[in-house]
Structure 1
Amino acid sequence: MNHVIHLKRRPKGKPQLEDFEFVEEQKPKPKDGEILLKTKYVSVDPYLRGRMRDQESYIPPFELNEPIESGIIAEVVASNNDHFKEGDFINGMLKWKEFQISMGNGLNKVDPDKVSLSAYLGILGLTGLTAYISLDKIGNLKEGETLLVSGASGAVGSTVGQIGKIKGCHVVGIAGTDEKLKLMKEKFGFDKGINYKTTDDMKKAIGDACPNGVDVYFDNVGGEILDAAMDNINKNGRVINCGAISLYNETDVPTGPRYEGIMVRKTVLMQGFLVRDHATEFGPATKQLEQWLNVGKLTYEETIVEGFKNIPQAFLNLFEGKNKGKMVVKI
């Protein structure tokens, strides 16, 4: 039998294990032109929460009583397709299934001899590409500037900070534990860190850590931390809106400060970023990330949870801040 994870009900507020359902079905067999894939690693990401809502967005919502999907590394275990052979490893958007059939469309082969397979879901996957391309397109980092990053110990944030150091910036990260701050500074090279959970005055904490103000703020969380960053933004500052995890489980639209005055007075650019809009740039961006990784300018951290049955809990753990670096489930 083949195990599958469905979205059973749409979460209200924070997702619960009861929102997911484990289903058994017959293990599929490939027909002409098809390949049989065995899931090896599953990416769980905060943006999946948005797809659990029945609302229009940049990507269609998940259907109830149908499999959830995300980035997956899988092994080709049987092939009737000339472009893939048994033993190949691929990366693509696939269903939360132990085994599944594909025609090969949208799948990219990955090399397990270059880096660990899970890295293709992180530093060399959409998270690394998000960091690199958004900084290139919106951040426009200049040597000597100050880069502030929220969610800084996560997969995207830690990569953003490292690229900031490569570009010669003063880099400050925001995270939720002293252990994560230590990781940011010792492993990823951040200059300073702020623990938002033990800080009473985020505006002052950012001001102290960024004495020359904030030139670029990379926002993964939104909410009050964004408010505090805007209070410290410099003339011609740039704000990259990559995520807003602090708001994902809100049932009502929160009201916060109005930024119009700051944005006009300081001519600030604030722009949302979706990595899927830049697919034509994935090739060159991946090559640059891989080159930095090979020469030791980039490194990465992973939180690996084992077992297909633990995929939903790994996803829930993201909203508790239980991951350091990329959260991946190994099957």
Structure 2
Amino acid sequence: MPKSRSQQISLVDTPYYHCVSRCVRRAFLCGDDAVTGQNYEHRRGWVEKRLLFLTQVFAIQVCAYAVMSNHTHVVLFIDEETAKNWSAMDIITRWHQLHKGTLITQQYVQNGAVPEHLQPLLDATIETYRQRLIDISWFMRELNESIARQANQEDNCTGRFWEGRFKSQALLDEAALIACIAYVDLNPIRVKIDHTPETSHYTSIKQRIAAALHPEQPHNLLPFIGNPRQHQPKGLPFQLADYIELVDLTGRILRDDKRGHIDVSLTPILQRLNIPSDNWLIITSEFEQHTHIAVGKENNLTRYYQHCDYQRRPKITQTQKLLA
């Protein structure tokens, strides 16, 4: 029996998670419907806009995303420390960007205080909101429900738009994290929607490349902050230039007319993580096919499954062997 999302999230082990949502209808989320001839490409913009808006509300940041024709990929970072430091007003005003809240929270925002006998109820509500604002299930719910309502209205129908559960994977170490981010960024190239990372619409890699030309980093994505070191700020533990080069080289190799022309083992990220080029190509093209709810080295997997109260650890997969 599948575990609930809350039981699959272990912040003791990692703040990074890969989530995938898939449509249930024949009519795609985006792109062209071959039967009706109708184009739904504009819906990719809905998803991107909503996703990046939610990062301004939640204590959850986006590391990577790709909006495909019938599914979406996001790699998320849960910033629990930031959420703990939010004031009561911070929490309530953020939540009110999504929902009306309660009469008590509305009164607090208006007056800056509530009667003494209502304070315990307000405090409990604030803590409930605080937990929701670091909850991946709430984040994905706020993303998917909004898109489903818009699509249902446009299609003049009712019913499910997304599968009942989104897929979630814990990324337990740097190798799993960089492999998953690259896999997500290269999704459009792998399925031949786009030809290069910089032209891959509705992806994080296009945003990062466009910003890097200035040079800067997108304010709505978790930044790359360089290789691990003492007292480092929050962010992805890799050099941005190295990552962009890695994705570009990998994308060229994944194309049929470029296969094998470039040795990606020469890039600094793969050198530091000790991932051979042959392994890297398999991981970034087949990441989902060989992974379960957690991805990482064997000792990290063992700790994760213990913390999540699994009776036994699933057998290590091909991709996890490649990362070992």
Assess same fold via TM > 0.5.
Answer: no
TM-score w.r.t. the length of structure 2 is 0.24
Q: Report the structure, 1 or 2, having the larger helix content.
A: 2
TM-score w.r.t. the length of structure 1 is 0.23
Q: Report the structure, 1 or 2, having the larger strand content.
A: 1
